[in-house]
């Protein structure tokens, strides 16, 4: 059965079809959440929560977008809500620790953890989420604005700022010092 | 996977495009490198069953709370209307003022969180 038919069947109450949709979207969703959280346990918990919300709101899914796109919008909102609560609890250290843990796990498994991922991990959620959605998943500014519930102009400036911050992080220190010494010699 | 880079500011566009390309490459490698187990459909089926049962319970609980609260508020209002009409009017005015203040407060909060 293709996705449209599975969605139709799931809306009619076929749990088997819904389970099939969930299973096929699971790797995509988990990988997306892992890029936001940098924590496998947290990503899995959020994926479970996303599926719970999807079950509750399945009747509202119009089918104009792909099922996985709909799941991503639910997951993003859940993640941002979670982070808002976390900020209130001053749990920022946990995020720092989870980035380090994932980095260590990736390195110990001979996986890739380069400067770009390091810079991405240092970005705050307000910048990281729009950057990933725009440049990796190809969402339009309008779609991101609807997902995060912020004006389109704010999304544009956040994406631009996010890339600027990453670029700054990736600029070698030598290059910066050369620029400074050039300026000093000109003076 | 489509990568939409349209609508990007033209100034510094080249440098930014390089960063975007690097970012996409790293994330693609990251996606390939991640390994995890995808649960069997029966696992999801079980979760769906549990979730549906929980939602049903939650809806019934919410309906009960709503009914009881509505009954208490309505009986209080009728009581006030028949015994003390001034009190009824005062309550109406206070409710409107409260709703206005609350709406302004929420809007301000949302605006601040966006900034």
Tokens matching residue B80: 């006030």
Judged by a CB distance cut-off of 8 A, whether residue A145 touches chain B is no
**Per-residue pLDDT band at A95 (split at 50, 70, 90):** low
**Per-residue pLDDT band at A24 (split at 50, 70, 90):** very high
Dihedral (Cα; A119, A124, A126, A127), 10-degree rounding: -20
In a domain, B17, yes or no: no
For chain A, positions 31-60, list CB contacts with chain B under 8 A. Answer: 31, 34-35, 40, 48, 51-52, 55-56
Distance (Å) of CA A181 to CA A140, A169, A184, B22, B88: 41, 20, 5, 28, 77
Residue spans per domain, chain A: 1-92, 103-173
Tell me which of 3.40.50.720, 3.40.630.10, 1.10.1740.10, 3.40.1190.10 is the CATH number of domain A1-92. Answer: 1.10.1740.10
Structural domain that includes position B101: 85-115
Give first-to-last CA distance, chain A, whole Å: 71
Whether A52 and B23 lie within 8 Å, measured CB to CB: no
Distance (Å) of CA A81 to CA A48, A137, A139, A144: 15, 21, 20, 16
Cα–Cα dist A116/A114, whole Å: 5
Closest by Cβ to B19, choosing from A15, A27, A166: A166
Cα–Cα dist B62/B80, whole Å: 27
Whether A23 and B44 lie within 8 Å, measured CB to CB: yes
Whether A37 contacts A79, CB under 8 Å: yes
Residues A132, A50, B37, A7: is their CA dihedral positive or negative?
negative
For the domain bounded by A103-173, which CATH number is listed? 1.10.10.10
Closest by Cβ to A120, choosing from B5, B23, B113: B23
In a domain, B19, yes or no: no
Judged by a CB distance cut-off of 8 A, whether residue A63 touches chain B is no
Per-residue pLDDT of chain B (115 residues; tens, 9 = 90+): 444 444 444 445 667 788 888 888 888 888 888 778 888 889 999 999 999 899 899 999 999 999 999 999 999 888 888 888 888 888 889 999 999 999 999 988 877 765 5
ipTM computed for the complex: 0.73
Cα–Cα dist A137/A33, whole Å: 12
In a domain, B105, yes or no: yes
Closest approach of B72 to chain A, Cα-based (Å)? 29
Cα–Cα dist B93/B73, whole Å: 16
Size of interface A-B (CB pairs under 8 A): 108
Closest by Cβ to B55, choosing from A56, A109, A150: A56
* Residue for token pair 């389970």: A19
In a domain, B67, yes or no: yes
**Per-residue pLDDT band at A102 (split at 50, 70, 90):** low
Residues A167, A168, A173, A176: is their CA dihedral positive or negative?
positive
Enumerate the residues of chain A whose CB falls inside 8 A of the CB of residue B17. Answer: none
Whether A67 contacts A27, CB under 8 Å: no
Q: Mean pLDDT across the stretch A54-74?
A: 89
pLDDT at B8: 47
Judged by a CB distance cut-off of 8 A, whether residue A22 touches chain B is yes
Residues B94 and B78 in one domain: no
Closest approach of B7 to chain A, Cα-based (Å)? 9
Whether B27 and A156 lie within 8 Å, measured CB to CB: no
Chain B residue with Cα closest to A145 = B114
Enumerate the residues of chain A whose CB falls inside 8 A of the CB of residue B7. Answer: 140-141, 156
Distance (Å) of CA B101 to CA A5, A57, B98, B109: 48, 31, 5, 12
Nearest CA-CA partner of A141 in A125, A128, A126, A157: A157
Closest approach of B114 to chain A, Cα-based (Å)? 7
Whether A136 and B47 lie within 8 Å, measured CB to CB: no
pLDDT at B85: 87
Residues B66 and B79 in one domain: yes
In a domain, B31, yes or no: no
Number of domains present in the structure of chain B: 2
Residues B45 and B77 in one domain: yes
Q: How many other CB atoms sit within 10 Å of the CB of residue B5?
A: 14
In a domain, B72, yes or no: yes
Nearest CA-CA partner of B33 in A111, A99, A118, A105: A111
Whether B33 and A48 lie within 8 Å, measured CB to CB: no
Residues B78 and B91 in one domain: no
């Amino acid at each position: 059965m293709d996705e449209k038919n599975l969605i139709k069947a799931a809306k009619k109450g076929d749990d088997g079809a819904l389970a099939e949709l969930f299973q096929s979207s699971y790797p995509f969703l988990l990988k997306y959440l892992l890029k936001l959280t940098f924590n496998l346990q947290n990503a899995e918990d959020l994926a479970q929560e996303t599926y719970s919300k999807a079950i509750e709101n399945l009747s509202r899914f119009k089918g104009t977008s792909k099922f996985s796109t709909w799941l991503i919008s639910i997951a993003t909102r859940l993640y941002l809500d979670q982070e808002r609560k976390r900020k209130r609890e001053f749990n920022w250290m946990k995020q720092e620790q989870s980035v380090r843990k994932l980095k260590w796990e990736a390195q110990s498994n001979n996986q890739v953890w380069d400067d770009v991922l390091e810079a991405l991990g240092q970005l705050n959620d307000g910048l990281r989420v729009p950057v990933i959605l725009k440049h990796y998943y190809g969402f339009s500014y309008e779609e991101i604005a609807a997902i995060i519930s912020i004006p389109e102009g704010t999304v544009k400036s956040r994406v631009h700022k996010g890339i600027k911050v990453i670029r700054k992080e990736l600029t070698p220190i030598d290059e910066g010092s050369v620029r400074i010494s050039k300026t000093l010699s000109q003076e | 996977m489509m990568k939409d880079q349209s609508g990007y500011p033209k100034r510094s566009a080249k440098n930014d495009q390089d960063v975007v390309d690097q970012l996409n490459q790293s994330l693609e490698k990251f996606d390939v490198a991640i390994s995890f187990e995808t649960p069997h459909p029966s696992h999801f089926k079980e979760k769906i069953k549990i979730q549906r049962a929980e939602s049903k319970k939650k809806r019934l609980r919410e309906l009960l709370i709503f009914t009881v609260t509505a009954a208490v508020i309505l009986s209080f209002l009728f009581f006030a209307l028949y015994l003390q009409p001034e009190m009824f009017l005062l309550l109406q005015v206070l409710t409107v003022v409260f709703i206005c203040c609350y709406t302004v407060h929420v809007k301000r909060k949302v605006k601040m969180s966006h900034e």
